[in-house]
């Protein structure tokens, strides 16, 4: 284990660690542009020059391996002077358009200028080299003038998506990045280009001019788009999500997420949200309060007893699922979640990068909690035979299946927890407003069996409530109060009840989640299917 000293702080690192990584381990951030933790080292920006004892010249920290006894200085006068001069070169032809640039506020160039530069430019604005601005590349906007030619986008295209869309064109001070004939970026990971770009050269089309980033508040969460469970930040302001951004987790998504996932936030603020409970009366829908609706539900479940059926949804958190399972067990009815067989696709890759064929965030959680019991087709058969007196759906999936409609029509009470209005809700008799993933605390279990935390970014609209709270309300009315009043407590109950989750709690999950041990039987069958 090589041991080195960076700015007077000793650090033990694994062999092969670079100085820049070693610095990050002890909280020293060496200024950089082209280095990215999840991209190969290029060493072209020269910003990370540091002074190393016994070396005649300054070295780039991103491509210098730590050797035993190395003494590095990142803030010596020589190093600081190098940062300043490098930055001055990078800024020679930079347009001064921070006021209209969406990157402002999260721009490396801005940060480094405030930290290390602060020089007055020797180049007048009129003398600067003009390049192409406002080039529409589909999901991405290119502004070649702002580019610092760090090649992060080129390396991302080469290494992660293997699409090689970008290349440098022209030479000398005319060098700029470009796609061939300005063709748009077609792949599903374009949003990452805006993220890897340290400056405002590549910006997201979706987020363009929408918001200045310093108004945004970031909440840690997990993408609900598929079973991969990419770690994300929800950037929101005044209770409205403005964008999703990947949060680095080496075990899951590195620093990336797909564009399908990035669009997930748009579902939250739609005006088609279910915001209040309602019951069907002979004259049509009748708005009601959650307690009244739960009274009705509990009464009907009580009457139905074992003639009830419960269909969970893999869109729900583990807490929701556990509360739902407890409710189903209390009522003694049938229970399943496998509408459309998502469990067959949990590990099936849709492309070679992140996206998976199962577009539910928590199918694995459903499996772990043992929700696949009675079989969906059995439940539908029982409905068709008139053996089900009350059917509670945790999500509207079953109502969308044409083959189940006839059977569902025979059930005297169909209750559904829904977040969005849709025509299929008209097949239910009772609708409960459910909060969405960004509005609840909880956990998702991804395809790797990694339990990851999602956090509440903002409140749910009107009387929409977490699904576990709705289930808990019904349990209370059935005379079996649920001993939990928060998601944290529900998870504690879950950890006691489900052996695989034993010993876990919200705190021990941390920011990156915890991987559960593989279940040998399951892994084998799943891999075989994949």
Partner 1 sequence: MAARVVTVDRDTKPGIYPVLIGMAITFKNMFKTMFGGAAATIQFPEEKRKTSGRYRGIHILTQRLDGTPKCVACYMCATACPAECIYIEAGERPEATIEKYPTRFEIDLLRCVYCGFCVDACPEEAIFMSRENDLVGTSRAEMIIDRDRLMERAKLVEYGPGYRPTDHDVRRPVRIAALERLKHEHGIVPGPPSR
Residues that bind partner 1 (CB under 8 A): 75, 77, 80-81, 84, 97-100, 104, 114-115, 117-120, 122, 133-134, 208-210, 212, 214-215
User: What is the C-alpha to C-alpha distance for residues 293 and 364, in angstroms, rounded to an integer?
Assistant: 30
- Closer CB to partner 1, 54 or 122, in the complex: 122
Q: Is the Cβ of residue 80 or residue 509 nearer to partner 1 in the bound state?
A: 80
Toward partner 1, which CB reaches closer, 7 or 220?
7
Provide, rounded to whole angstroms, the least separation between the CB of residue 235 and partner 1.
15
Between strands 308-311 and 334-336, the pairing is parallel
Q: Identify whether the C-beta of residue 128 lies closer than 8 Å to the C-beta of residue 173.
A: no
Q: How far apart are CA 137 and CA 200, in angstroms?
A: 14
Neighbours of 491 (CB within 10 A): 26
Residues making up the chain, counted from first to last:
530
Asked if residue 307 lies in contact with residue 281, where contact means CB atoms within 8 angstroms, the answer is: no
Residues 6+ apart with CB under 8 A from 432: 277, 290, 293, 294, 297, 415, 416, 417, 418, 465, 470
Smallest separation (angstroms) from partner 1 to the CB of 132? 8
- For 457, list phi and psi in degrees, rounded to 5: -90, -35
CB of 243 or CB of 338, closer to partner 1: 243
Residue 77 or 521: the one with the smaller Cβ distance to partner 1 is 77
Q: C-beta of 26: minimal distance to partner 1 in Å?
A: 19
Task: Provide, rounded to whole angstroms, the least separation between the CB of residue 212 and partner 1.
Answer: 4
Residue 200 or 314: the one with the smaller Cβ distance to partner 1 is 200
Q: How far is the CB of 151 from partner 1 (least distance, A)?
A: 24
Question: 127 or 351, CB closer to partner 1?
Answer: 127
Q: Which is nearer to partner 1, 85 or 163 (CB)?
A: 85
Smallest distance, partner 1 to C-beta of residue 119, A: 5
CB of 81 to partner 1, least distance (A): 7
Helices (H), 186-226: 191-196
201 by DSSP, 3-state: which? coil
Rounded to whole angstroms, how far apart are CA atoms 494 and 369?
9
Name the helix (H) or strand (E) containing 84. helix 77-90
Cα angle: 167, vertex 160, 365; to 5 degrees: 155
Output the CA torsion sign for 357, 361, 367, 370.
Answer: negative
Q: Rounded CA gap, 355 and 256, in Å?
A: 11
Compute the least distance from the CB of residue 112 to partner 1, in Å.
12
């Amino acid at each position: 284990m090589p041991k080195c000293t960076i700015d007077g702080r000793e650090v033990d690192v694994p062999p092969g660690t670079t100085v820049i990584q070693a610095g990050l381990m002890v909280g020293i951030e060496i200024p950089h542009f082209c280095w990215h933790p999840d991209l190969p080292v290029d060493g072209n920006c020269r910003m990370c020059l540091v002074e190393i004892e016994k070396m005649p010249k300054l070295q780039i920290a991103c491509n210098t391996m730590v050797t035993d006894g190395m003494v590095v200085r990142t803030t010596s006068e020589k190093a600081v002077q190098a940062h300043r001069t490098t930055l001055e070169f990078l800024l020679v032809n930079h347009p001064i358009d921070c006021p209209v640039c969406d990157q402002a506020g999260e721009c490396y160039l801005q940060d480094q200028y405030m930290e290390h530069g602060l020089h007055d430019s020797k180049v007048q604005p009129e003398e600067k080299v003009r390049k192409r601005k406002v080039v529409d590349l589909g999901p991405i906007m290119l502004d070649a003038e702002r580019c610092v030619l760090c090649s992060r986008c080129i390396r991302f295209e080469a290494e992660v998506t293997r699409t090689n869309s970008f290349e440098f064109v022209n030479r000398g001070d005319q060098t700029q990045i470009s796609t061939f004939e300005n063709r748009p970026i077609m792949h599903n990971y374009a949003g990452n280009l805006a993220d890897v770009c340290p400056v405002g050269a590549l910006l997201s089309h979706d987020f363009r001019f929408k918001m200045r980033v310093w108004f945004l508040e970031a909440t840690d969460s997990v993408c609900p788009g598929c079973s991969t469970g990419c770690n994300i930040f929800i950037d929101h302001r005044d209770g409205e999500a403005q964008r999703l951004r990947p949060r680095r987790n080496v075990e899951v998504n590195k620093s990336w997420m797909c564009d399908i996932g990035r669009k997930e936030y748009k579902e939250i603020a739609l005006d088609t949200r279910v915001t209040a409970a309602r019951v069907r009366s002979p004259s049509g829908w009748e708005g009601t309060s959650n307690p009244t609706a739960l009274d009705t539900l509990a009464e009907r479940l009580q009457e139905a007893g074992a003639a009830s059926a419960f269909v969970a949804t893999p869109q729900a958190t583990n807490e929701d699922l556990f509360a739902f399972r407890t409710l189903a067990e209390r009522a003694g009815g049938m229970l399943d979640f496998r509408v459309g067989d998502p469990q067959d696709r949990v590990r099936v890759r849709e492309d070679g990068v992140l996206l998976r064929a199962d577009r539910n965030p928590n199918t694995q959680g459903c499996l772990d909690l043992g929700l696949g019991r009675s079989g969906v087709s059995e439940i539908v058969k029982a409905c068709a035979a008139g053996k089900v007196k009350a059917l509670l759906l945790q999500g509207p999936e079953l109502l969308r299946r044409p083959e189940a409609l006839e059977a569902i029509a025979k059930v005297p009470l169909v209750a559904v927890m829904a977040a969005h209005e849709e025509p299929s809700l008209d097949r239910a008799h009772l609708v409960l407003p459910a909060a969405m993933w960004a509005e609840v605390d909880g956990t998702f279990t991804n395809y790797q069996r990694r339990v990851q935390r999602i956090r509440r970014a903002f409140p749910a609209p009107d009387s929409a409530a977490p699904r576990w709270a709705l289930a808990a309300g019904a349990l209370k009315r059935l005379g079996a109060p649920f001993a939990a009043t928060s998601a944290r407590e529900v998870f504690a109950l879950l950890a006691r009840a489900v052996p695989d989750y034993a010993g876990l709690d919200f705190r021990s999950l941390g920011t990156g989640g915890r991987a559960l041990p593989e279940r040998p039987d399951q892994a084998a069958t799943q891999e075989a299917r994949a």
